[in-house]
Amino acid sequence: MKRAWIVVGLVLALAVTPVALAQDSIEIDASVVARAAAELADAYLGGLHDMMGILATTADLQVGVWGGMQELLGRFETLPVPFDAWYLLPDGSYYKVGTGLASANLSDRDYFPKVMAGEATYGDLVVSKSTGRKSMVMTVPIERSGSVIGALGVTVYLDDFSALILDALEIPEGMGLFAYAPEGRITMHADVDLLLEGADASGIEQDVPVGVASDFLGWIFVVGPTAE
C-alpha cells in the first residue's frame, strides 16, 4: 500500500498548486492555458485511475466481501477529486461507501461487460443512477485466481470537477474555458447546466478557440473569448 499512498501524495501536491495566469491587458497565449487545464485534469484523473488499479490488487478488495473493503474505500474517497467509490458485483449490483447496497443495477451500462471481461474502463459519461448527477465513470476489474470477481468503480461528478479545475486556474476576464469529450459532449464548464450538452452550446466563440487534447481521456480543452 506504500506505493498507493505515494500516488495519493502526488495528486494532493498538484491539488494545492494553482496555475496563475496573467489577468492584465497583456494578450494571453490561449494554448498555454488550455494545456495547463488538460495536464491538470490528466494529473487528477489519471492519478485516480492508477490508484484504483493499485487498490484492486490489495487483499482488502480481493477478498470480495464489502465489509472487508468498506473502510479502505472510505479513506480512498478523501482524495481532493470529487467522486464516489463503489464495489461492483458480477450481477450488476453494487455497494457504495456511506450507503451500502444500492437499489439500482449497473449491468446495462456500456462499461459493465468490458470490466467483467477484465478490461479497465474510463471516460464513460453517464447520469448517475443513485444521485441523478452528470458524471464520468472509471472502473478496474478485481481478479482472484485468474477470475474476475467484481470491479472497483468511481463516479466523478462533472460539476464539482469543473469547479476544481477552474478554481486552480486564473482565467482572464472575457475569456472562457471548457472541455468536451471526443464524442462532442461538454465535460467541463463553469455553467454546470451545459454539462453533457453539445460543444456548440459552450458560449465560447468558436471562430477563434484554441483546443488541446488531454493525454488520458482525450478531452479537448478549449480557451476562447466568451460570447457577448
For the chain, list the domains and their CATH numbers.
47-158 (3.30.450.20)
User: 77-121, pLDDT tens digit by residue?
Assistant: 988 888 999 999 999 999 999 899 999 999 999 999 999 999 999
- Grade residue 1 by pLDDT with cuts at 50, 70 and 90: very low
Q: Which contacts of 99-102 are long-range, i.e. CB under 8 A and separated by 24 or more positions?
A: 99/130, 100/66, 101/66, 102/129, 102/130
E strands, the chain, are: 83-88, 94-96, 100-101, 121-127, 134-144, 147-157, 175-180, 186-188, 210-213, 220-225
Q: Which of 57, 120, 130 is nearest to 96 (CA)?
A: 130
**Per-residue confidence (pLDDT) for residue 32, from 0 to 100:** 84
In whole angstroms, how far apart are CA 161 and each of 40, 182, 210, 224?
A: 11, 18, 21, 20
Q: Which residue has the higher pLDDT, 223 or 92?
A: 92
Interatomic CA distance for residues 180 and 203, integer angstroms: 13
